[in-house]
Structures are given as C-alpha cells and as structure tokens.
Amino acid sequence: MIKLEELHKKRRKLIVLSLSIVLFAILVVYSFLDFKKDFIQREITKTKAEIKNTAEIKMETIHHNYADMLNDLDTIARRMTMFDETDRDLIIDELYDMSSVSHFSHIGISDRNGNILDSGGRNGNISEREYFKLAIKGEKNISDVMESKIISQKDIQVMAVPIIKENEIIGICYGVLNIGEIDVVLENETGSMIYTQLVDSDGNYITANNSEPALANGENIWKELERYNFISGSIDKLKEDVENKKSGEFSFEYEGKHRISYYTPLDINNYYLFSASSDELIDLRTEELTRGTSGLLIKVIIAGSILFIGIFYYIQQINKELKYSYKKAITNNEILNISALESNRYIFDYNPKTKVLEKKAGKHNLLFYKDEFTDMPDSILSMDIIDKESVNDFVNIFEEISSKDSIEKEIKISHKDISQWLRIRMKKIYNDHKIINIIGIVDDVTEKKNQEIIIESKDREAKVLKHQAERDALTSLYNAGTFKQKVADILNRENRDNSVDVLLLLDLDNFKLINDTFGHQYGDKVLIDVAEILKHSFRKDDVVARLGGDEFVVLLVGTDGYEKLEPLLENLCKKLTMTYTKGDISITVSASIGIAISPTDGNTFKDLYYKSDIALYQVKNNNKNGYKKFEE
C-alpha cells in the first residue's frame, strides 16, 4: 500500500508537473504570439514614421529643384532682353546651349501674342495655354501635366516666367519637362522599399516611378485608387483632405500586396506628394523572428519551469537587440535613401556630443576631403580655406543644429586662385520623438552662385567668377560659346576700316594615338601644353580658345595680311611639334592649321569656321603638320 500510495503521489506529481509544463508551454506560446503581434504593430508604426520622414525630405528636394529651374528660366529671360528679332540664329544658339546644360528637354520664348521660337528652331503659338496667360501677366508658374504641341502623344510639364524689359512684359520664357524623364529631374529613388509619387491638381502623375514595389502604372491616381481594397481610410476621405489641403495616411491591399501610404500637399499649385511602402520589410523581420524563436520555444516547453528565468532573460535580450537593430536599420535606411537621391554629393552623419563627423556616401570635395573629422568644426576651420565672410555661418551650422530640426547655409571656400561655394544642409532624424541621428548633405553650388554674382554684382569677385565661366575648365582658354560671341563683336566693330582679321583653326595630329596609348590623363597634359604655347604666341588683343577635344581656334585681330603671318605660322608649327615618351614608347604630336581671312572669306564666325575647316582637312590629307589658307 505504501508503495502504491507513493506511486500515486509520484503520478499526481507527474500529472501536476505535466500540467504545469503544458500550462507553461501554453503561456509561452500565448506570450510569443502576443509578442509577435505587438512587434508587428510597432514595426507598422515605425514604418509610418519612416514614410513621413521620407516624404518631408523629398518635399525639400522637390522645392529646391523647382526653385532652381525657375531661377534658370529667370536668368535666360534676362539674357533674352539683349536680343531683337534679327538675332534669330543667336537666340536659337543661346536657347540650345541653355537647354543642353539644364533639365529641360527644350526651352523657348514667345512674344506678347504667344508666337514662339524654341531651342530646336521650332515655331508655333501658345496663346491659348494657361501657363502663357499667367506668365504674360507677370506670374511665374508651373503647369499641370499636358499633351505636347511639339511632340505628339507626349505628356509634358511646363514652367514659365515673364520676360521684362524696361519695366514692361514683352513676352515669356518657358522650359519643357518630359514626364517620362522627370524622375531624374526630381532625383526620385528607384529600387527602394519606400517610393514617392507626385501628382498634379487633376490627379495625373508628374513622376513615372519604376521602383519594384510601386503599383502605379501611369494612370490618373483617382482611377488607380478605385482598384484598391482600402484597409484604413477611403477615397472619399482622401479627396476631402486633398480639397482642404490636409495631410493624412491610408493603407490598402491590391493583388495580395499590402501598402501603407502617406500624402501631403506640396504647396506648388495643387500638387500632392504620395509616399508609400510595402509591408515586405515587416514580414521579413517577423519571419526572421519566428525562425529564430521556434527552436527556442520547443526547448522551453521541454525544459519546463527550470529554464523559465533563463528564457525570460533571453527574450528580454532579444527584445533589446531587436530595438537596437531597428534603430540601426532606420539610420542605415535613411542614409541609403539619401545616398540614392544625392549620389553626387558628400553625405555624412554628425554627433554633436563627440563632435565627430563621419562620411556615409558621395564624393569628397575641397572642404570635406576625407571620411572622418574629429573636433568639429574647429578641425576644418584650422585648414584656413573658408572665406572670412563664411566662417560664422560654418560655425553656426554645428552650433544651431543642437536646437533646430534642420539648418542650411551656403559656405564660400577660397584656396589659392580657386573659389567654390558649398551648400550644407543638416537634419535631425527622429524615432518615437527621440533623435537617433543627424544627417548632413553637402552640394557644390558654385555654378549657381557664379551665375547669380555675374548677373547681380559688379564687384571684383564677380569679374573673377565671370572669367571662370568664360573659360575652358582644362586649359583656361576661352570656351566655344565665349569665343563665338567675341568673334561676332570684333567682326561687327564700327571702326574696322580696312583691317584684316585672320582665323586659325588648329587640330592636333596623333592626339588620338596619345589617348589610346598613354591614357586620357596624359592626353589632358598634351592639351594643357598646347594651350600654354598658344597663350604666349599671340598678341594681347588676339582671341585664343579651345572649341572642344583637340580642336583650338585663334582670331588674329587687325593684321597686315596673310603673307606677313607666314613666319609666325612656321614658328608656331615648330613649337607645337612635341614628342611625348612613356616607358619605351614615344609619340610625336604636331598641328594642322586651316586659315580663313575676313572680310575676304566672310564676316561671321560660321563662314570663317567653315572655310578654315576645309583648309584644315586639306593639310590633314597632305602629310599634316602644316598650315594652309582657304582657296576657292
């Protein structure tokens, strides 16, 4: 009986133990499922905050780029006041040059009646276009999506500004953006789990996002949303918010894919920005969590209550690691998104407590020349290359970011004879109202500042910047555009009398062989050597330029005739015959020169270039390394 009672006791203990283990296992499973549900909800909440932050950064980029493009059109409009109706070819050249270095597919101007001339030499009438009506009244504006009159079945967006001369509006200047290419203009990201879409006041897409998770297929957004099954929010609520210019969020399901979206007005016309993300990232993290804890769950059930404390501790550690991993992922994701948008910039993060600045992506520049700086901003100030007028702004960037959400300054750098402008933007990144990082972006805005200073300032520094704008970057000779303008001014001068102007067109012999054999850096050295020879071979009033590649041009002003130039030309050919050696390979370069004379061969750059080019290739075809005057 004793043994039987002991056996029953053991059985009861075993049953109690078994029930305890089962109850413990049920509790653990319930706790795990509840933890998973809470984890997913927190991930969704954090994803919403991440989508909103992305939208705010994107809005900042869009405002900057639209403002820059309108400023470009203002610059062109001011330049157009210098021409009249007889300057058609010059106007087309100017518009073409401007469009080739801008985001616009083409640029045009119109008179007060809407008659246009654009960078492709095309004519037409835009008097019925709304953007023309607004601009001719003096209002800068950006149009909704419309069908192009120039290219059939092509959707475009147009920006327009008035052309004002002597306080009177004489026409408009407009730039055309192709909708298919506008993602490049707005620096829209591709391949990201967060994507943005920009729509006009009628709901037409201004962007054409090709990101993998994007569901948009180019339709009107209101038609597209009718296909979706809304989980939170509705089309009616969305339309009401858009009408009242409010921000909001909604989630929906389409073809088995779940999306979370945030929308906000852009403060440009009635445009709206939609920022959306799939739940793939949340699913991925949840699956990883499930795989990692399933084996642990089985072990916990088998081990029983003895392992409870250890398991509880382990779960707590996992939770801490997940929080840490999430914060780190948020930071890395922000950096990757910004890097994708600003790949040609210097991107960094900054810790105001340690005063450490660390590069995350982009390119070095004259100021931020390495990957990490300590003791900021003093370590960079010690380089003594920041212009005195910008020192306080540079210091304030790093001081004021502690009390502001974002800050932006333009800093001038002066080093030797180089002047450069950098725009520095810093922004705090938040998670649950806590600062988790400070991100910085550095842009080179030298060209923009140079244009502003050339137009608006007459001081000494503006003249230096104008000089840089007229010069070829590699050789410091005049560039093609400046040379054409100077030739036109010289050939059309009033006191020309009977003077003879001579145009020399030079093309290097064997230059391609130098590039192919020694590399393009060696080729650049050859071009610089040639430029130095040309600089010191002619008079102060003569004009020397590099047209591009290995083609140079010289205008000799007011000569005594071609015959008296022959000793100079002979000597020039000798100087330009140079041998370059690398290793055991030597290559000799020389110059072939074609010559045209004004007024005999023409009184425009176009005529003189054409005829000197014919003479040049006669030299090329006859042993090279020589010169020849154009002959009929």
Instruction: Tell me how crowded residue 105 is: count the other CB atoms within 10 A of its CB.
Output: 20
Q: Looking up tokens 């653990």, which residue turns up? A: 28
Q: Which tokens sit at 444?
A: 């080179």
N- to C-terminal Cα distance for the chain? 136
Asked if 613 is an active-site residue, the reply is no
SS3 call for 527: helix
Question: In this structure, are residues 365 and 442 in contact, taking their beta carbons and an 8 Å threshold?
Answer: yes
Q: Which residues contact 193 (CB under 8 A, 6 or more apart)?
A: 213, 277, 278, 280, 281
**Pairing label, strands 272-278, 257-265:** antiparallel
Q: Taking Cα atoms as reference points, which of 494, 504, 489 lies closest to residue 538? A: 504
Instruction: Tell me how crowded residue 465 is: count the other CB atoms within 10 A of its CB.
Output: 21
Q: Which of 155, 241, 472, 550 is catalytic?
A: 550
Q: Looking up tokens 């410091």, which residue turns up? A: 476
Q: Taking Cα atoms as reference points, which of 44, 120, 130 lies closest to residue 88? A: 120
Bridge partner residues of 598 (DSSP): 501
Radius of gyration of the chain (CA): 34
Q: Which tokens sit at 121?
A: 């030499």
Q: How far apart are CA 441 and CA 100, in angstroms?
A: 26
Q: Taking Cα atoms as reference points, which of 159, 103, 104, 167 lies closest to residue 135? A: 159
DSSP string, 67-95: HHHHHHHHHHHHHHTT--GGGHHHHHHHH
Q: How far apart are CA 302 and CA 305, in angstroms?
A: 9
Given CA atoms 368, 371, 376, 382 in this order, what sign does their dihedral have?
A: negative
Q: How far apart are CA 409 and CA 138, in angstroms?
A: 30
What DSSP designation does 21 have? H
Q: Which residues contact 363 (CB under 8 A, 6 or more apart)?
A: 344, 345, 346
Q: Taking Cα atoms as reference points, which of 600, 624, 625, 623 lies closest to residue 611? A: 600
3-state secondary structure 127-157: CCCHHHHHHHCCCCEECCCEECCCCCCCEEE
SS3 call for 102: coil
Q: How far apart are CA 385 and CA 217, in angstroms?
A: 50
Bridge partner residues of 251 (DSSP): 232, 260
Q: How far apart are CA 515 and CA 520, in angstroms?
A: 5
Q: Which residues contact 76 (CB under 8 A, 6 or more apart)?
A: 94, 95, 98, 107, 173
Write out the catalytic residue numbers.
550
